[in-house]
Amino acid sequence: MNRFAQQAESVEKGLSETVMNEFNPEVIPLYKEFVSAATVQAVSDSYNGISLNGRRLFMRSGLAWVKLLHTCFWEFFIAISLFGVLVVSLVTVPKILFACGVCSMVLGFWGVLGLLGIPFCVGFAHITVVGNLARVLSVLENECYGFASLMKAKSLIEGRRQTALLMTLFSNVGLRLVECLFEFRMCKGMSLWEGLMLASMYSLVLVLDTVMNVVFYYTCKSLNFDV
């Protein structure tokens, strides 16, 4: 955000203060989840052949974004818990091994990191994949949100984890590429049309990611009648 302010100041003196005053970071998560809920609902309506109605879309999104926040909280809590287990293990296990005379602290640290690093990465990727589908569930299913939506999403992707991982990989790579390009252009100096183009590219990747997740949800539902 500081680079935005610097760029604004270079365009017009005093404009950076206006930019920073209008920027309210506390509103961003709420706005983001509301837009996500609206996008999921719009894609679902289009997939089912329902004509888009702005009022209906606004009402359903307004009811769904609170459930979406609840689901995101549980996803964040589980991810932080997994990270906490890794950190605690890296701190305590090498000390225990050193106290028992098994190995040095450095060797114990790298040994624990090598032993737990791969399971941690696999677990984190699994949480991300399940979370993507759980957010769709939170919007489209009335009584399914929070921890329940995560558990149901886990059941739905059984046997289709590779597909879900590939979808997540492609969307994340696309988002990171646009972000890197944005950072590069901000360092070099970015014009207004470049900023609009990058924002459009980022939005396009987000929409494509939402479309893939909604279609994946309906595919999983059609193959899991008992879930």
Extract the tokens encoding 138: 């939170």
| Region at 189 (left for phi over 0; alpha for psi -120 to 50; beta for the rest) | left
User: Quick one: residue 76, left, alpha or beta (phi over 0 = left, psi -120 to 50 = alpha)?
Assistant: alpha
Note the pLDDT of residue 209: 82
Q: Quick one: pLDDT at residue 81?
A: 92
List pLDDT tens digits, range 63-115. Answer: 777 788 888 889 899 999 999 988 998 888 888 888 887 778 888 888 888 88
List the chain residues with pLDDT less than 70. Answer: 1-34, 62, 188-193, 224-227
Nearest 5°: phi and psi at 53?
-125, 120
pLDDT of residue 33: 67
Give the C-alpha separation, 19 to 197, whole Å.
20
**Summary mean pLDDT of the chain:** 76
What pTM was estimated for this model as a whole? Answer: 0.72
Alpha-carbon torsion angle 127, 33, 152, 133, nearest 10:
-60
Token pair of 52 as six digits: 């888009």
**Is 174 in contact with 205 (CB distance < 8 Å)?**
yes
Q: What's the pLDDT score for residue 192?
A: 67
Q: How far apart are CA 158 and CA 164, in angstroms?
A: 10
Instruction: Give 70-90 as a DSSP string.
Output: HHHHHHHHHHHHHHHHHHHHH
pLDDT at 26: 42
